[in-house]
């Protein structure tokens, strides 16, 4: 790959990022104008499903139903009032089956609607994260450009100052370094030979 094609690819990538950033900004503006769904925006079935799910998913419902079941069983076992549902409690089983048959789909409708709301929120979070990443990348590019401009200005200023110093004669570019000090020749000490002379 040649250098011009790499820079062209970077330019296309940068242009794509800028386009995506602009689309995300437009989406953010449109989302700000919309309001979250209110109860008036829900259908009749959705409002009922929400209320049933809220009611059946509470401790209050469990306590009330447990109390009613205990009263039902005690009244039928003791036969205080004529036993209308003797021991196997077939009528009670039928009533609980009806309750479960209708409660389960209604609760599932409420859960599906909540799942849709959660999915949309996750999509919005993802788009916001992408936008934030692009914004940070743009800030890094701007900082790099500012740093490059500053380095260029500083190098030009140093060049101008060195030219001014050269013109004024305060600094000679030919003799930038002082000559090293002259070394004294080392004294030679004569060696004694092994023969003793």
Using the predicted structure, report yes or no on whether residue 190 has a pLDDT greater than 70. no
> What's the residue count for the chain?
197
Q: Are 76 and 85 in contact (CB under 8 A)?
A: yes
The token duo for 40 is 């008036």
Q: What's the mean per-residue pLDDT of the chain?
A: 81
How far is 22 from 140, CA to CA, in rounded Å?
18
Using the predicted structure, report yes or no on whether residue 177 has a pLDDT greater than 50. yes
Using the predicted structure, report yes or no on whether residue 126 has a pLDDT greater than 80. yes
pTM of the model: 0.51
CA dihedral 144, 145, 148, 150 (to 10 degrees): -110
The pLDDT tens digits for 137-157 are: 888 988 999 999 999 999 999
Task: Tell me the mean pLDDT in the region 102-108.
Answer: 93
The pLDDT tens digits for 68-83 are: 999 988 888 887 767 7
Task: Tell me the mean pLDDT in the region 17-32.
Answer: 74
Give the per-residue pLDDT at 68.
94
Task: Tell me the mean pLDDT in the region 117-123.
Answer: 92
Cα angle value 141/146/151 (rounded, 5°): 125
């Amino acid at each position: 790959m040649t250098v011009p094609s790499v820079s062209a690819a970077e330019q296309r990538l940068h242009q794509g990022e800028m386009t995506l950033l602009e689309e995300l900004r437009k989406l953010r503006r449109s989302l700000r104008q919309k309001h979250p769904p209110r109860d008036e925006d829900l259908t009749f079935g959705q409002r009922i499903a929400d209320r049933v799910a809220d009611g059946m998913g509470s401790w209050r419902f469990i306590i009330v139903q447990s109390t009613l079941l205990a009263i039902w069983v005690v009244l039928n076992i003791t036969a205080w009032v004529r036993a209308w549902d003797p021991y196997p409690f077939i009528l009670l089983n039928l009533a609980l089956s009806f309750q479960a048959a209708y409660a389960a789909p209604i609760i599932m409708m409420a859960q599906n609607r909540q799942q849709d709301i959660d999915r949309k929120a996750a999509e919005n979070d993802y788009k916001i994260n992408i936008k934030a990443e692009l914004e940070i990348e743009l800030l890094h590019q701007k900082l790099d450009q500012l740093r490059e401009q500053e380095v260029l200005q500083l190098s030009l200023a140093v060049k101008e100052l060195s030219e001014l110093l050269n013109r004024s004669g305060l600094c000679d570019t030919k003799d930038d370094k002082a000559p090293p000090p002259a070394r004294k020749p080392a004294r030679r000490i004569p060696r004694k030979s092994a023969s003793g002379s």
